[in-house]
Amino acid sequence: MTEEKISLLNQLAVQAGEEILKVYAEPFEVENKSDGSPVTVADAAAEKVILAGLSKIFPEIPVVAEESVEAGELPVVEGRYFLVDPLDGTKEFLKRNGEFTVNIALIEDGCPVFGVVSAPALGEIYWGGALSANDQQSAFKGRIEAGKIVDVAAISVRTPPQSGLSVLASRSHMSEETAALINRLGVAEQLNVGSSLKLCWLAAGRADFYPRMAPTMQWDIAAGDALLRAAGGALVYAETGNDFTYQVPTQAIKDDLRNPHFLAVGCRSVLADLAVSG
């Protein structure tokens, strides 16, 4: 049953991506949210698909979804809930570079235990974690072809090469503080990419380190965090080095779901190296 439900969650991400691509293929209007960030009809269309699917597959689990929260709908949650970002990387969507994603994460007692991330324009999908404590943690990547997931392969993080770190940075949200940290490290390679794809690339062993010293929301990273953990990596608070946790306080508002700065790594040894160089 668990594998069946994972398959259904993955298909939800694929279906949401199909709705996004319908909008992507045609001219569309852009509006601004209360915080000034852009939003399109694709966000709402994708979220509608995901919410409908989750209500059928997991009717007992509440869902915290970005566009619903923007509309003032933030449910009371306890130990177990879904965090959904129907379209992460709206700026990349507007630039039409394909680097945007659909994100569905299951949170349990503050920990992201399962996540699926699809990149519809790139035809890629990643997922990892477990829906039950009895299931083995594992991470995978596949291709999306004609609405189906094919060429599935297990993925894992890599050991940093001796030649130097490959560091990921946001394509559209690079902060001065993030740039300063990267420059201090003297990295071998800097890769700029949009959305939660950065966490997917870490999980798949394509890079070693992703520092984020700029604003994000919990739904931006939860699915990628679950994937990264399942692949052997970690996402920690930049200030303390402790593993990141997810919380929705009682009577929460949107700003309560804003993330502090974080560091995502494929190998925890990178964190030790950071402490030495700092």
- CATH code: domain of residue 238: 3.40.190.80
Strand order in the sheet with 262-265: 189-193, 166-170, 209-212, 262-265, 234-237
Last residue of a domain, one of 154, 181, 213: 154
The pLDDT score that the predictor gives to residue 22 is 96
Structural domain boundaries enclosing 114: 2-154
Annotated binding residues, written as ranges, equal: 66, 85, 87-90, 220
Nearest to 194 by CA among 76, 62, 87: 87
d(CA 122, CA 65): 23
Same domain, 139 and 173: no
Helix, coil or strand: residue 237: strand
Annotated binding residues for substrate, written as ranges, equal: 66, 87-90, 220
99 within some domain: yes
Same domain, 46 and 101: yes
- Domains: count for the chain: 2
Q: What is the mean pLDDT of each run of 10 residues along the chain (278 residues)?
A: 89 98 87 76 96 97 96 93 96 93 97 97 96 80 97 97 87 69 77 94 96 92 98 96 94 94 94 67
- Per residue in 170-197, is it b (16+ CB within 10 Å) or e — as a string? bbbeebeebeebbeebebeebeebbbbb
Please state, in angstroms and as integers, the Cα–Cα distance from residue 225 to each residue in 1, 26, 111, 265, following that order.
24, 32, 9, 10
Q: Any idea of the CA torsion for 56, 62, 66, 67, to the nearest 10 degrees? A: 60
d(CA 194, CA 241): 24
Last residue of a domain, one of 126, 154, 182: 154
Same domain, 24 and 148: yes
Same domain, 16 and 139: yes
Same domain, 133 and 208: no
d(CA 106, CA 244): 14
Same domain, 105 and 231: no
Same domain, 107 and 59: yes
224 within some domain: yes
The pLDDT score that the predictor gives to residue 173 is 60
The pLDDT score that the predictor gives to residue 36 is 65
Same domain, 6 and 85: yes
25 within some domain: yes
Same domain, 146 and 192: no
d(CA 195, CA 173): 10
Strand 63-65 versus strand 80-88 pairing type: parallel
Same domain, 117 and 217: no
Domain CATH code at residue 86: 3.30.540.10
The pLDDT score that the predictor gives to residue 186 is 64
159 within some domain: no
Q: How many CA atoms lie within 13 A of 3 on its CB side?
A: 3
The pLDDT score that the predictor gives to residue 154 is 97
d(CA 83, CA 222): 7
The pLDDT score that the predictor gives to residue 275 is 67
The pLDDT score that the predictor gives to residue 133 is 65
**CA end-to-end span of the chain, whole Å?**
47
Strand partners, 91: none
Annotated binding residues for Mg(2+), written as ranges, equal: 66, 85, 87-88, 220
d(CA 60, CA 81): 9
Same domain, 122 and 178: no
Last residue of a domain, one of 99, 128, 154: 154
Same domain, 150 and 15: yes
